């Protein structure tokens, strides 16, 4: 015979309507229905919550009777005996138990909506934004242990939540930047593209430089980073620039200059944008209204030049480096300005092709080679003097007069404008090693 389960006495009024069978571990409903029949439904276990749900859904009258009994129950005693190790048989105030719950709260994790949790979560998001690290680090067990060791009450968010927070922060920052650009009078764009090694992917960045009058500051912001497919034609680059202007709400009238390199494809892209702007301005002057639509809707009609004509020239550099800005404000749209750094680089590249450049480079190499040989000889003599000084002093501290100069000073002596004169060798002060500039 199975031993009966031992437990505390069931005092809830719900047991006036149910009977628990410990062998089957089921509770039987004893509510009398119409026709003097017992409900008799069996519910697994003895959880009072499940019994209350059955009583409320199936027996409305019995449920009201249960609620009346529950309301008429006498209040529980203020003091109760709590059996705990080391505190057996002692009475404890229920108020003290409630205070202990509040005292135990700091030992647990902060709630998500608390200021402490939000402050540390914001710092974690800023760390991922500023460093560019992968948010999958949040799902690493080692990282969670690390954050727990710093602050046990902070529960590290997962990668999905961090991504959502970064997206929300991005949307907020983008809207703020849009408002700042809207208050700027003119905007200068900077466009450049580059490819990964092996030409596996190509990108084109579009940034904006402008002055913000209310804030009194100059801003430089990256607006878009487009991934471009081959071929990198002028039409494709113009579409990316137009898409960026439309996304950020920058009108054509606000674009002062477009700073680019001297590639034929980017030159053509700016020219196409300018031709389209002038054509639209001419149609407006004739009285015809332009068709409404987003930026780039009519590009297929304007860019009639075949992309194949430029596929062989997209990597060539054009030699036109002049900047001619017309005085007419209506036609002063999408004017290109060659990048000064890129132009200087091309200038130096052409200068290296000069016939006299080889002789100048050869002379510079001989000068550096001579200075390097003199420096090696001086260093060798000083090392020998240092060894003799250490031997004479019995292996103690070397004579400070023979301590080698740092590497930075030696390199400075090699390429610096002044000469190093009067380096003593050994104990004879009359002997000097000098490095003079020759041919400079």
Q: Percent of the chain, pLDDT > 70?
A: 68
228 and 278 belong to one structural domain? yes
pLDDT at 419: 42
Give the least confident one: 84-98, 150-164, 231-245.
84-98
Q: Is 83 exposed, middle or buried (0-12, 13-18, 19+ CB in 10 A)?
A: exposed
Q: Tell me the two tokens of residue 159.
A: 């990668």
Residue 434 has pLDDT above 60, yes or no: no
Highest mean pLDDT among 45-54, 126-135, 196-205, 225-234: 126-135
Residue 67, number of CB atoms within 10 A of its CB: 14
267 and 134 belong to one structural domain? no
197 and 318 belong to one structural domain? yes
Q: pLDDT averaged over the chain?
A: 75
Q: Does residue 217 fall inside a structural domain?
A: yes
Strand residues in 266-347 grouped as ranges (E)? 336-338
142 and 248 belong to one structural domain? no
pLDDT at 57: 86
pLDDT at 307: 39
Token pair 């030699």: residue:
319
pLDDT bucket at 356, cuts 50 / 70 / 90? confident
Q: Percent of the chain, pLDDT > 90?
A: 28
The dihedral over CA atoms of 340, 202, 134, 172, expressed in degrees to the nearest 10, equals 60
325 and 250 belong to one structural domain? yes
DSSP β-bridge partners for residue 20? 27
Q: Does residue 3 fall inside a structural domain?
A: no
Q: Does residue 160 fall inside a structural domain?
A: yes
Per-residue model confidence as pLDDT tens digits over 285-324 = 555 444 444 333 443 333 333 333 444 444 444 444 445 5
Give the least confident one: 74-83, 228-237, 420-429.
420-429
192 and 324 belong to one structural domain? yes
191 and 163 belong to one structural domain? no
338 and 193 belong to one structural domain? yes
Q: Does residue 49 fall inside a structural domain?
A: yes
pLDDT at 427: 41
pLDDT at 126: 94
Number of domains into which the chain is organized = 4
Q: Does residue 92 fall inside a structural domain?
A: no
Give the least confident one: 35-49, 154-168, 180-194, 203-217.
35-49
193 and 337 belong to one structural domain? yes
- Domain boundary among the residues 139, 171, 203 is at 171
Q: Model-level pTM?
A: 0.48
Residue 221 has pLDDT above 60, yes or no: yes
Q: Does residue 91 fall inside a structural domain?
A: no
Element (H, E) at 142: helix 141-150
Residue 100 has pLDDT above 90, yes or no: no
pLDDT bucket at 56, cuts 50 / 70 / 90? confident
Q: Which residues contact 298 (CB under 8 A, 6 or more apart)?
A: 276, 291
What number is the average pLDDT over the span 258-276? 89
Q: Which residues contact 226 (CB under 8 A, 6 or more apart)?
A: 203, 204, 205, 206, 240, 243, 244
Q: Does residue 166 fall inside a structural domain?
A: yes
Per-residue model confidence as pLDDT tens digits over 115-154 = 999 999 999 999 999 998 999 999 999 999 999 999 999 9
35 and 166 belong to one structural domain? no
Residue 226 has pLDDT above 50, yes or no: yes
One DSSP character per residue, 163-211 reads HHHHHHHHHHHHHHHHHHHHH-S-EEEEEEEEE-GGGS-EEEEEEEEEE
Residue 91 has pLDDT above 70, yes or no: no
Give the CA distances from residue 429 to residues 385, 419, 423, in Å, rounded to whole numbers and listed in that order.
12, 19, 9
Q: Does residue 7 fall inside a structural domain?
A: no
Which domain range does residue 386 map to? 358-435
194 and 261 belong to one structural domain? yes
Query: Pick the residue with more confidence: 357 or 412?
Result: 357
Strand 336-338: give its sheet, edge to edge.
Answer: 217-228, 202-212, 187-195, 255-260, 336-338
330 and 397 belong to one structural domain? no
Give the least confident one: 32-41, 67-76, 306-315, 367-376.
306-315
């Amino acid at each position: 015979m199975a031993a009966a389960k031992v437990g505390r006495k069931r005092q809830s009024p719900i047991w006036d309507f149910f009977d628990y069978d410990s062998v089957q571990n089921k509770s039987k409903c004893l509510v009398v229905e119409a026709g003097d029949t017992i409900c008799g439904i069996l519910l697994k276990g003895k959880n009072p919550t499940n019994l209350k749900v059955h009583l409320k859904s199936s027996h409305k009258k019995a449920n009201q009777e249960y609620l009346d009994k529950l309301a008429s129950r006498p209040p529980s005693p203020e003091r109760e005996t709590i059996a705990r190790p080391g505190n057996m048989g002692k009475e404890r105030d229920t108020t003290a138990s409630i205070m202990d719950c509040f005292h135990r709260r700091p030992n647990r994790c902060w709630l998500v909506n608390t200021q402490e949790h939000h402050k540390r979560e914001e710092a974690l998001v800023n760390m991922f934004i500023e460093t560019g690290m992968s948010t999958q680090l949040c799902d690493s067990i080692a990282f969670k242990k690390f954050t727990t060791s710093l602050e046990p009450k902070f529960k590290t968010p997962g990668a999905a939540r961090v991504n959502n927070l970064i997206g929300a922060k991005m949307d907020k920052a983008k809207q703020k930047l849009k408002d700042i650009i809207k208050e700027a009078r003119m905007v200068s764009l900077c466009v450049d593209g580059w490819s990964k090694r092996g030409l596996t992917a190509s990108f084109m960045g579009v940034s904006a430089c402008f002055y913000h009058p209310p804030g009194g500051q100059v801003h430089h912001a990256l607006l878009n980073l487009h991934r471009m497919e081959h071929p990198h034609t002028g039409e494709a680059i113009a579409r990316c620039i137009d898409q960026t202007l439309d996304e950020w709400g920058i009108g054509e009238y606000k674009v002062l200059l477009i700073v680019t390199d001297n590639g034929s494809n980017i030159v053509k892209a700016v020219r196409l944008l300018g031709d389209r702007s002038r054509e639209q301005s001419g149609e407006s002057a004739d009285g015809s209204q332009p068709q409404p639509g987003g930026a780039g809707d009519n590009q297929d009609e304007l860019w009639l030049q075949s992309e194949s004509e430029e596929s062989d020239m997209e990597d060539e550099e054009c030699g036109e480096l002049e900047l001619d800005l017309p005085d007419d404000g209506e036609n002063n749209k999408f004017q290109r300005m060659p990048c000064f750094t890129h132009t200087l680089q091309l200038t130096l590249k052409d200068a290296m092709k000069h016939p006299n450049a080889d002789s100048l480079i050869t002379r510079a190499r001989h000068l550096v080679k001579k200075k390097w040989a003199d420096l090696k000889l001086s260093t060798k003599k000083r090392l020998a003097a240092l060894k003799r000084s250490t031997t004479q002093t019995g292996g103690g501290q070397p004579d400070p007069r023979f301590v080698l100069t740092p590497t930075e000073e030696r390199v400075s002596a090699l390429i610096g404008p002044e000469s190093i004169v009067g380096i003593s060798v050994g104990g004879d002060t009359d002997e000097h090693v000098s490095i003079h500039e020759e041919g400079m």
